[in-house]
Structure 1
Amino acid sequence: MSERLLEAALGALERGEDVSLRAVARHAGVSAMAPYRHFEDKAALLAAVAAHGFGELRAKLLEADDCSDDREALVAQGEAYLAFARARPALFRLMFSCHDGGPPPVDDNAYAVMVRRVEGLSPKSLEAAALACWSGVHGMATLALDGGLPPGPTPVERAALELIVSGLSARLA
């Protein structure tokens, strides 16, 4: 049942509709009280939707992470990150509005997929290099959603991703 509610919430979010527990129950075809058995409140529902989104993003990054070269894998991950943001803008925005700030802990999440490759390029300054990589790609994704970049992937985006990645192995001053 909670999967059904999550799918209904995700659908409503992507259609730009209300994502209240009552509206989600209606979309899922269940009683108005059913969501409360799974989610304490709307914030808990949205947090679950965001967590689902991070799972989807992780899967996309893992799909892109299919080569042995750390640099090429990071560029491919960056392209996948941008594609995910463009394909799922409402979910992407929700994902980054439902957490307490800062990078997520490095366990088996989307951030960890990127960090493993960054570590291959900049193991001595991993924290700074991971922050630079993540903020660069996330900034590009935000620009894409806000209309600051042309729609769709462009050669300039790939060049920018390559610059970010090439800078990761540079020495920190």
Structure 2
Amino acid sequence: MREALIAAARQLLGDRGPEGFSLTDAAKLAGVSPAAPYRHFRDREALLAEVAAEGFGLFGQRLAAALSSAPGQSGFTAMGRAYLAFAREEPGFYAAMFSQRAQPPGEDADGAGRPAYEILLRGVAGALAQHGGAGVDAEAFARQVWALSHGVASLERAGCFGRTRPGEAEDLLVSGVEALLRGARERAAAETAPA
């Protein structure tokens, strides 16, 4: 029953967003009594946290597979595409992961999102090493990349990109990360240049 409730919540989250479901809704969709969820989850927030944790686990696997799919910058770029694909293909998980109540990745060393964030940091470190990013704060750069990725994914999910140009979100993400990388390298070079 626990897995059925998680699946029901995931579907409701994908359809309605984090504020659009209750434990009663999840119970009804799972085909159990309204009281049944309380045997497994203390409240709606506990169910939301479980969906987010499962989502971050799958998300981390996809990011790791993308990063290892190609060497250097190609693997880093593949991570961006995997990020967008996950948001498209797993809207319930994505909504739970980035709900207001979920702990942002990187904020809590023990949080469910931390392993996925560590994969991003590995990708960032590789991209910086390959493109002369010595002196660039990898943690700050990773946060910028994560913010850009999340913004593009959220805008795409909201229908802000036209359907006339397939791949527009991916192109925007790749060019945005490239611009961030150039800017980070230029700032780092300026900070280390003799006065």
TM-score greater than 0.5 by the shorter chain? yes
118-127 or 154-163, which deviates more: 154-163
Query: Residue 63 of structure 1: CA displacement?
Result: 2.3
Go from structure 1 to structure 2 and tell me whether the alpha carbon gap of 1:56 and 1:106 turns closer, same or farther (over 3 Å shift): same
Deviations 1:100-126 (A, max 9, x none): 457444676221111111123257512
Letter in 2 for 1:71: Q
Match of 1:3 in 2: 3
36-45 or 24-33, which deviates more: 24-33
CA distance in 1, matches of 2:134, 2:41: 40
Query: Residue 162 of structure 1: CA displacement?
Result: 5.4
Query: Residue 56 of structure 1: CA displacement?
Result: 2.2
Q: 2:96·2:102 contact (CA, 8 Å) conserved in 1?
A: no
Match of 1:89 in 2: 91
Q: 2:68·2:75 contact (CA, 8 Å) conserved in 1?
A: yes
- 5+ residue gaps, structure 1, are none
Alignment of 1:60-99 (within 5 A): 60-67=62-69, 69-97=71-99, 98-99=101-102
Match of 1:156 in 2: 171
1:134 equivalent to 2:146? Answer yes
The aligned length equals 173
Residue 124 (structure 2) aligned to one of 102, 118, 124: 118
- 5+ residue gaps, structure 2, are none
CA distance in 2, matches of 1:119, 1:78: 15
CA distance in 2, matches of 1:106, 1:69: 28
Q: 1:133·1:164 contact (CA, 8 Å) conserved in 2?
A: no
Query: Residue 6 of structure 1: CA displacement?
Result: 0.4
CA distance in 2, matches of 1:55, 1:164: 29
